Chain A
Amino acid sequence: MHIDIDEIAKTFGATTALHPVSLSIPSGALVALLGPSGSGKTTLLRILGGLEFPTSGRVMFNGQDATGMTVQERRAGFVFQSYALFRHMTVFDNIAYGLRARPRGQRPPKAEITRRVTKLLDLIQLPDIASRYPTQLSGGQRQRVALARALAIEPRMLLLDEPFGALDAKVRKELRQGLRDIHDETGLTTVFVTHDQDEAMELADLVVVMSMGRIEQIGRPQDIRGKPATEFVRDFISA
């Protein structure tokens, strides 16, 4: 699914989180929104996911206006920065949540849910943790469960907010490759937010550098490294 962001702006009270920004994301791309905190990257991601609504501008999915579409209708697999796993549910129930939340007619039968959850647990290479609770998992395991939970709903796109932010350097490296693999396997249009330029450059096909609610530059990693468009980009990537 390709995504078009058309002159999206967002204000919170007196503060402006996003000046009108436009961005086109081709189907199947792996895109990084890169910028320091307060640059508006998370706000943009939440607008894509339907958690926030823009003050003005439009979001288009496959050329169709999706600006007013509810969060449930969007079917965006969203991975939260702190993972937001349901702490009172087992890993299995967390992953099955989206399938069980479907309206009765579309809800898969029990056996099918079990099959799919098992398959996802295999995909994230944690086949044995189904009956554990989130507090019994390591940070890296939690991140992968959150990813599996988002994939369970057969999302139309994958949105990740600082997916590696809370992890130590070694686990971070491993999971980067994991995300790349899952992206390549599913072919989902994927957008992730990060403040870590190495992460963005290493992982993404397309990097969007943001600052103060504006897009500074859009380009392939090597273009951004080779030809920074603004003073800000130059400073930020050399930091």
Chain B
Amino acid sequence: MSDATLPTFRTATEEAPLLRIALIAIAVAGLAILVFAPLAVVFAEALRDGWLAAVESLGNRDARSAIHLTLLITAIAVPANAVFGIAAAWFITKFDFRGKAFLITLIDLPFSVSPVVAGLCIVLLFGANSAIGSWLVAHGWPIVFAIPGIVLATVFVTFPFVARELIPVMIEQGRTEEEAALTLGASGWRTFRTVTLPNIRWALLYGTLLCTARAMGEFGAVAVVSGKIRGQTATMPITIEMLYNEYLSVAAFSMAALLTALALVTLLLKTLLELRHADQLAATRRH
């Protein structure tokens, strides 16, 4: 072998330096093209006509209403999902019952359903031409083409986020700390508040963070159920679509830049959590 004549300093578990450099280059180039370039384009297009135009486009009535609506939807959907996630994780990890695996599968179901199909399902259940929907509309509680429908669609697509994060963490932590609290006389609620919650807080925050990012940005499911009524049911992503289709590029990209900035903040917080509390998160230990 010609290799034998070359001096090698690498250990048995390393690749040849050239191969290593090539792999790193492919990884960097791939991410640059696939991830960093789209990210840069969002801000470049938003600032095409300068800062002033970008900021101004976010100040009009429809844009403000869209921002307001997205914050409102997120403020309802995320806590709803956190409550569900905690309840589901408690039920699944603190009790033994038949059909547990099936229940977990059902909770994961929304991950494999297209957001558009999710929206369709909600329209079929609560739309004006369904039995439930027409009754609700007649009593002044429209779901579809209204805020409740958007909330429902958002909760659907983010459904497993918190539960999936909490379940592995709570399985690993076991039940004995809660049992100890109970034997010391603590009530169920007190046990949850003083023993369970401190142990799962970082995992809960992590799951909530992922849930928030997805809730603010959900498009497909909301596009179907919202009816896209300007100033009323148009969320930020829907407004981006409407502006883009009207060739209002700067306005569309300005709103996109705002959502992107929020996404970057999410990513930063998520990375910080992973660095500081890796041992208490499921995601960083998932096998």
A and B, direct touch (CB closer than 8 Å): yes
The residues of A with any CB-CB pair to B shorter than 8 Å are 12, 49-51, 71-72, 74-78, 80-82, 84-88, 97-98, 101-102, 149-150, 152-153
Tell me whether B182 and A98 are in contact (CB under 8 A). no
| 0 or 1 for each of B159-194: is its CB under 8 Å from A? (1 = yes) | 000000000000000001101111111110010001
Q: A51-B179, A80-B180 are in contact. Are A97 and B199 (CB under 8 A)?
A: no
Q: Does B99 contact A (CB under 8 A)?
A: no
Q: How far is the CB of B254 from chain A (nearest CB, A)?
A: 44
Tell me whether B186 and A101 are in contact (CB under 8 A). yes
Q: Could you say which of A81, A85, A150 contacts B183, with CB atoms under 8 Å apart?
A: A150
Chain B residues touching A, range: 10 to 19
Q: Does B195 contact A (CB under 8 A)?
A: yes
The complex places the Cα of A125 from the Cα of B198 at a distance, in Å, of: 29
- For A101, give the chain B residue with the smallest CB separation: B186
Q: Could you say which of B176, B186, B198 contacts A72, with CB atoms under 8 Å apart?
A: B186
Q: How far is the CB of B45 from chain A (nearest CB, A)?
A: 47
Tell me whether B195 and A86 are in contact (CB under 8 A). yes
Tell me whether A86 and B183 are in contact (CB under 8 A). no
Q: A82-B176, A84-B177 are in contact. Are A97 and B186 (CB under 8 A)?
A: yes
Q: Could you say which of A74, A84, A101 contacts B176, with CB atoms under 8 Å apart?
A: A84
A/B interface sample: 6 pairs, CB < 8 A? A71-B182, A72-B187, A76-B183, A86-B194, A98-B184, A149-B180
- For B182, give the chain A residue with the smallest CB separation: A71
**A80-B179, A97-B186 are known contacts; what are 6 more A-B pairs with Cβ within 8 Å?**
A71-B179, A81-B176, A84-B179, A86-B195, A86-B198, A101-B184
Q: Which chain B residues border A87 with CB–CB below 8 Å?
A: 177, 199
The complex places the Cα of A78 from the Cα of B176 at a distance, in Å, of: 11
Q: Which chain B residues border A101 with CB–CB below 8 Å?
A: 181, 184-187, 190, 194
Q: Which chain B residues border A12 with CB–CB below 8 Å?
A: 96
Interface centre among B180, B181, B190, B199, by most A CB within 10 Å?
B180
Tell me whether A77 and B199 are in contact (CB under 8 A). no
Q: Which chain B residues border A49 with CB–CB below 8 Å?
A: 183
Tell me whether A88 and B176 are in contact (CB under 8 A). no
- For B186, give the chain A residue with the smallest CB separation: A101
The complex places the Cα of A152 from the Cα of B179 at a distance, in Å, of: 16
Q: A80-B176, A82-B176, A84-B176 are in contact. Are A97 and B198 (CB under 8 A)?
A: no
Q: Which chain B residues border A86 with CB–CB below 8 Å?
A: 177, 180-181, 194-195, 198
Q: Could you say which of A80, A81, A98 contacts B185, with CB atoms under 8 Å apart?
A: A98
- For A159, give the chain B residue with the smallest CB separation: B183
The complex places the Cα of A72 from the Cα of B96 at a distance, in Å, of: 21
| 0 or 1 for each of B103-141: is its CB under 8 Å from A? (1 = yes) | 000000000000000000000000000000000000000
The complex places the Cα of A82 from the Cα of B190 at a distance, in Å, of: 22
- Chain B, 179-221, CB within 8 A of any chain A CB: 179-187, 190, 194-195, 198-199
Tell me whether B185 and A75 are in contact (CB under 8 A). yes
Q: Could you say which of B96, B183, B194 contacts A77, with CB atoms under 8 Å apart?
A: B183
Q: A84-B177, A84-B179 are in contact. Are A153 and B185 (CB under 8 A)?
A: yes
- For A97, give the chain B residue with the smallest CB separation: B184
The complex places the Cα of A87 from the Cα of B280 at a distance, in Å, of: 12
- For A12, give the chain B residue with the smallest CB separation: B96
Tell me whether B177 and A102 are in contact (CB under 8 A). no
Q: How far is the CB of B94 from chain A (nearest CB, A)?
A: 12
Q: Could you say which of A75, A82, A97, A102 contacts B181, with CB atoms under 8 Å apart?
A: A97
Interface centre among A71, A72, A98, by most B CB within 10 Å?
A72
